[in-house]
Structure 1
Amino acid sequence: MVIQTDVLVIGGGATGAGTARDLALRGLDVTLVDRGGLAAGTSSRSHGLCHSGARYAESDRHGAEECLRERRILGDIAGACVRDTGGLFVELEGDDPDYFDTKRDACEEIGIPTTELTGEEARERVPDLSPAVRRALEVPDGVVYPSRLVAANAADAQDHGARVLTHAPVEDMHLEDGQIAAVDLGGDVAERVEPQFVVNAAGAWAGRVAAMAGADVAMQPNRGVMVSVAYDGLEPVLNRCRDPDDGDIVLPHTDEVVLGTTSVDVDDPDEYDTAEWELERVREECAEMLPPVADAEQLRTWWGVRPLYAPDEATRQSRGISRGFFLLEHDGDGVANMASIVGGKLTTYRAMAEATADLVSDRLGVEEPCRTAERTLPGADDPDQLDAYVAEFDGSGPADADVVSLERTY
């Protein structure tokens, strides 16, 4: 059977599912495909921070403003896909006080709400916080549960006519007259898709997908490790108030916390070495902020691969600079009906999807506006329904495995 569709979206992570939702809400016939279950690549293997923008306030004002805007939108539309925890940037003895002051001032200029706390006030918020904490900056960080977020976006797309095909890897592309005329799927689907336009939202694998059409997208995959340990009662996200480095974030869940992360470039997003030192370093560094995690029971570990755009990374001199997103058209590669969306952050997935859907709509002559910033995600106020969506799309992952309950029959 041949599937004829307006838009084929390749990649079922947050950006791909968000793009499919946006386009479907504009009335386009959309087909979303992923080689595995939804969110299986990067989204469900992240640490799950919902950025307030404070992390990048002093290094990238535009990126910080974008995070703040999208953080607020997620708070309005995503319900139980996110948790409004708040966050603390903590300065320890020995940390550069000028860095704290610069971050605070930058947040104030941008409009990120902040409250400066003494070390004693911070320990009233988090009793187990290190006695070495001199002061802290309270910011509106949060936690996102990526498998729920991705599945809810896919469910809304499906409710508006989109096809959502999991375990459907792209095996080949056929070009005619400078356009992708057909795409062959394998796996559980084994169908041919004939699209008017193709969106490459394959994250760290975007280069491989683009190459099937003879296009060039230079990616630099970058691995990071997360360690989940038993710890009950942490409310705010903890961020070390220093230049971003290994082991500088602790995210609260229910009766555990997620410690992260490292940053190591890899050649292959599917096959890469991992190192014991990463696990040890993350735990040691996070314990500088929250000492009980040094000896807490380890519950699970996972590595995720960041979908970094190589030309952007080549200009970077600091890990603290916000990584933006890039929307690439491929006319110059001889492919007139494909665009790739790469880079970015989980927090800004909706903005990435909106930019992509705007481009596609322009190319296909569709004038409907974006509605994703105002429309609440389906199931947002019903965790059981959200988890049912996760099960439907085989979208579970380690980032929120302690929160998302799939032990039921749907």
Structure 2
Amino acid sequence: MRTTTVLVIGGGATGVGIARDLALRGVDVTLVERDGLGSGTSGRSHGLLHSGARYAESDQIGAEECIVESRILKDIAGECIRDTGGLFVQLAGDDPEYFERKRDACEDVGIPTETLDAEAVRERVPEIAPDVERAMEVPDAVIYPSRLVAANAADARDHGATIHTHAPVEDVTVEDGQVQHVTVGGSVDDRIEAEYVVNATGAWAEQLAEMAGLDVGMKPTRGVMLSVEYDGLGPVLNRARDPDDGDIVVPHEGEVVLGTTSVEVENPDEYPQADWEVERTVEECAAMLPPVADAPTVRTWWGVRPLYAPDEDERGGRGISRGFFRLDHAEDGIENAVSVVGGKLTTYRQMAESTADLVCDRLGVEAESVTADRRLPGADDPDRLDAFVAEFDAQGETDAGVVSPPANSGSD
């Protein structure tokens, strides 16, 4: 039996962010991840660091979270971020009132914007669609999740955390209203006893919760991304319309990532990967940037969003909200467990801080979070960041064309 004060289950951005936050507060923490770090949703996104503009008119709180957190990450994450800027592009036929609503909402939230006429847009993006009418410039950016996840893990480890990759949870034992221990296979092959347990498994949160007899209703949706050859795109391109298939183009150096779709799945590990999603995504993205229609495909992947079912059922619409939820299971009869679900990669640090606050409150730890002000290790050194990626087997699909880790050294 191994012992730790806090066991974090799930090695995506939120899980490693929680481990880092707790370790920096002096808490003894162990993290287990069934595969390499970031192998779930975090490493399979389109790689957009949201300014909040996408949510401004539909979810003001979520938009405010995004602009605050994106500024923090630009300060602390260094070479994990590329500050490209972004454009919301209005094409002929797009509703001009939607553009106006979004611009007004951004102003209300405090997201800086600048409206560009068609000529100015073509100066920024020479191969933009010929029917472009205008665009709104916003402070979007590109994020390299493999580096971000690995750097968080490295900082957690450097402050006493234990990180186990390739260590799947096999069972959760609950007695007398407490998680007594968690059985972990793979590289651990042992039971872990913890004073407090954090479920940070994202789209898999329902499956893990069921091991403890808990009900965490998830409604995961899949989305396809394609990386195609295209050099020279400066800003992120977003279509200025209600969120729909194929409305984001994200620059990744000599490639662009096209995304995405949204289709509900029953099992985040096994789901159809439909050709129509690929075809529609390319078609719709090409409406903004026509050359991508015939660009060679480098790779194609699907990711699964960790959406919380009660929120999705209440709001009932794609792209309306990507808020996060901290579920204190003391309310469900298990005093020493919490699940954190929903959210976005952009707000992972805030999700981690909020969860760590609850854990520290339950443990009687008075230390405050310092993650908003502390730069990540290796932030200014891409080679060091990529070495972290190799150490924690954190290479994801999103930034595979950018991150270049040395030979995998593995992690235990």
Q: TM-score range by the shorter chain?
A: over 0.9
Contact 1:32 1:163 in 2 (8 A): yes
Query: Which amino acid letter does the alignment assign opposite residue 285 of structure 2?
Result: C
* Per-residue CA distance 1:56-109 (angstroms, 9 max, x = gap): 111111110000000000000000111100000000000000000111111111
Contact 2:85 2:138 in 1 (8 A): yes
Deviation beyond 6 Å, 4+ runs, structure 1: none
Pairwise CA distance, 1:320: 3.0
> What is residue 130 of structure 1 aligned with on the other side?
129
> What is residue 405 of structure 1 aligned with on the other side?
404
CA distance in 1, matches of 2:19, 2:333: 24
Does residue 266 in structure 1 map to residue 256 in structure 2? no
Change (3 A) 1:301 1:205: same
Which moves more between the two structures, 227-236 or 323-332? 323-332
Change (3 A) 1:283 1:7: same
Does residue 381 in structure 1 map to residue 384 in structure 2? no
Contact 2:251 2:257 in 1 (8 A): yes
Query: Which amino acid letter does the alignment assign opposite residue 302 of structure 1?
Result: W
> What is residue 235 of structure 1 aligned with on the other side?
234
CA distance in 2, matches of 1:205, 1:380: 30
CA distance in 1, matches of 2:83, 2:334: 43
Does residue 53 in structure 1 map to residue 87 in structure 2? no
CA distance in 2, matches of 1:371, 1:44: 25
Which moves more between the two structures, 180-189 or 157-166? 180-189
Pairwise CA distance, 1:409: 6.9
Does residue 244 in structure 1 map to residue 230 in structure 2? no
> What is residue 102 of structure 1 aligned with on the other side?
101
> What is residue 253 of structure 2 aligned with on the other side?
254
Query: Which amino acid letter does the alignment assign opposite residue 367 of structure 1?
Result: E
Does residue 156 in structure 1 map to residue 155 in structure 2? yes
Pairwise CA distance, 1:408: 4.5
CA distance in 2, matches of 1:317, 1:188: 41
SS in 1 for 2:315: coil
Pairwise CA distance, 1:343: 0.2
Contact 1:250 1:258 in 2 (8 A): yes
Query: Which amino acid letter does the alignment assign opposite residue 127 of structure 2?
Result: D
CA distance in 2, matches of 1:397, 1:107: 31
> What is residue 80 of structure 1 aligned with on the other side?
79
Contact 2:390 2:408 in 1 (8 A): no
Contact 1:59 1:321 in 2 (8 A): yes
SS in 2 for 1:65: helix
- Unaligned runs of 5+ residues in structure 1 are none
CA distance in 1, matches of 2:36, 2:30: 15
CA distance in 2, matches of 1:263, 1:346: 17
CA distance in 1, matches of 2:58, 2:144: 27
* Per-residue CA distance 1:357-397 (angstroms, 9 max, x = gap): 00000000000000000000000000111110010011111
SS in 1 for 2:356: helix
Pairwise CA distance, 1:330: 1.1
Query: Which amino acid letter does the alignment assign opposite residue 220 of structure 2?
Result: P
Pairwise CA distance, 1:322: 2.1
CA distance in 1, matches of 2:28, 2:293: 51
> What is residue 205 of structure 2 aligned with on the other side?
206
Contact 1:215 1:334 in 2 (8 A): no
Matched-pair identity in %: 70
CA distance in 2, matches of 1:109, 1:184: 49
CA distance in 1, matches of 2:246, 2:92: 17
Contact 1:214 1:333 in 2 (8 A): no
CA distance in 2, matches of 1:408, 1:340: 34
> What is residue 390 of structure 2 aligned with on the other side?
391
Pairwise CA distance, 1:288: 0.5
> What is residue 65 of structure 2 aligned with on the other side?
66
CA distance in 2, matches of 1:293, 1:272: 27
Does residue 300 in structure 1 map to residue 295 in structure 2? no
> What is residue 170 of structure 2 aligned with on the other side?
171
> What is residue 140 of structure 1 aligned with on the other side?
139
Count of matched residue pairs: 409
> What is residue 4 of structure 1 aligned with on the other side?
3
CA distance in 1, matches of 2:61, 2:332: 30
CA distance in 2, matches of 1:67, 1:384: 28
SS in 2 for 1:182: strand
CA distance in 2, matches of 1:100, 1:364: 48
Query: Which amino acid letter does the alignment assign opposite residue 117 of structure 2?
Result: T
CA distance in 1, matches of 2:354, 2:331: 20
Change (3 A) 1:409 1:343: closer
CA distance in 1, matches of 2:98, 2:249: 20
> What is residue 332 of structure 1 aligned with on the other side?
331
Contact 2:391 2:408 in 1 (8 A): no
* Per-residue CA distance 1:182-240 (angstroms, 9 max, x = gap): 11110121021110000000001001111111111001111000011000000100000
SS in 2 for 1:357: helix
Pairwise CA distance, 1:407: 4.2
Query: Which amino acid letter does the alignment assign opposite residue 204 of structure 2?
Result: W
Query: Which amino acid letter does the alignment assign opposite residue 320 of structure 1?
Result: G
Contact 1:248 1:285 in 2 (8 A): yes
Pairwise CA distance, 1:346: 0.3
TM-score, reference length from structure 1: 0.99
* Per-residue CA distance 1:311-336 (angstroms, 9 max, x = gap): 11111233131211000011233211
SS in 1 for 2:307: strand
CA distance in 2, matches of 1:409, 1:398: 16
Pairwise CA distance, 1:9: 0.2
- Unaligned runs of 5+ residues in structure 2 are none
CA distance in 1, matches of 2:406, 2:158: 25
> What is residue 186 of structure 2 aligned with on the other side?
187
SS in 1 for 2:6: strand
Query: Which amino acid letter does the alignment assign opposite residue 253 of structure 2?
Result: T
